[in-house]
Amino acid sequence: KNEVEQSPQNLTAQEGEFITINCSYSVGISALHWLQQHPGGGIVSLFMLSSGKKKHGRLIATINIQEKHSSLHITASHPRDSAVYICAAAYYGGSQGNLIFGKGTKLSVKP
Amino acid sequence: NAGVTQTPKFQVLKTGQSMTLQCAQDMNHNSMYWYRQDPGMGLRLIYYSASEGTTDKGEVPNGYNVSRLNKREFSLRLESAAPSQTSVYFCASSGVGEGWETQYFGPGTRLLVL
């Protein structure tokens, strides 16, 4: 069964810390997505990766295809980064656009 | 440009009642999705529609039906609600944004079945 595993489940950090959230997946993905779910429930897409690394502001996402692993890094964390971060995999053989989601990592950044 | 809208935001049903969750998008996307999100679990796909006039089952379709009324609208119907359907329901559509195929989510509907 195609699965997506995230770690840690919960993460508490002090403002300014460098944060890493991990995601591992089974074989045969065409893309890996990172999403952010705000405390109010809204979900926004942050990145889609099929190889290498992407950066947007203080957020950096990397993927290692050989190790079947992706990481989301947040530099100089801020309380407004507090949210649930979700990774999702698009598996080959899955129907168009279908994603398998991890359970999410709840991040709390303290001032 | 409202993105993806969902109605209602909250709903309480009694077991056996029926209801329809409405979803609309104004981004001219072909693909639309219905997910449910339960505590301790990832988002799970209920149904999706790759284009107007087509629908397919996702991971957890039992107890639900869908209609892709037109390109904009994709509704989810619970014919006979059960407590196990208490969840937060998200509608999404997908298209190219920020340079990649992106899913855009609605604000969610919180459903409680008593």
Task: Check A45 against B56: CB less than 8 A apart.
Answer: no
Backbone torsions φ then ψ of B33, nearest 5 degrees: -140, 155
Q: Do A98 and B45 touch (CB under 8 A)?
A: yes
Interface contact flag, A45 B98, Cβ < 8 Å: yes
Residue B42 C-alpha, separation from nearest chain A C-alpha, in angstroms: 4
Query: Looking at the DSSP assignment, which residues form a beta bridge with residue B12?
Result: B112
Distance of alpha carbon B6 from alpha carbon A94, whole angstroms: 26
Q: Reply yes or no on whether the pLDDT at B33 is more than 90.
A: yes
Partner residue facing B107 (CB), from A42, A86, A100: A42
pLDDT digits (tens, 9 = 90+) for A94-103: 555 578 899 9
In the numeric block, which tokens belong to residue B79?
A: 């014919």
Question: What is the C-alpha separation between A102 and A4, in angstroms, rounded?
Answer: 5
Q: What is the per-residue DSSP string for A37-54?
A: E-TTS-EEEEEEESSEEE
pLDDT reported for residue B102:
79
Q: Do residues A104 and A4 make contact, with C-beta atoms less than 8 angstroms apart?
A: no
Give residue-wise pLDDT tens across range A8-25.
999 999 999 999 999 999
CA A81 to CA A93: how far, in whole Å?
34
Q: What is the pLDDT of residue B36?
A: 96
Reported as half-sphere exposure (CB side, CA atoms, 13 A), residue A27 has a value of 0
Q: Measuring CA to CA, which residue among B67, B76, B62, B60 is closest to residue B22?
A: B76
**Interface contact B50-A95, CB threshold 8 A:** yes
Nearest residue in A to B97, CA atom: A45
Q: Inter-chain contact A42–B56, Cβ cutoff 8 Å? A: no
Token representation of residue A80: 């407004």
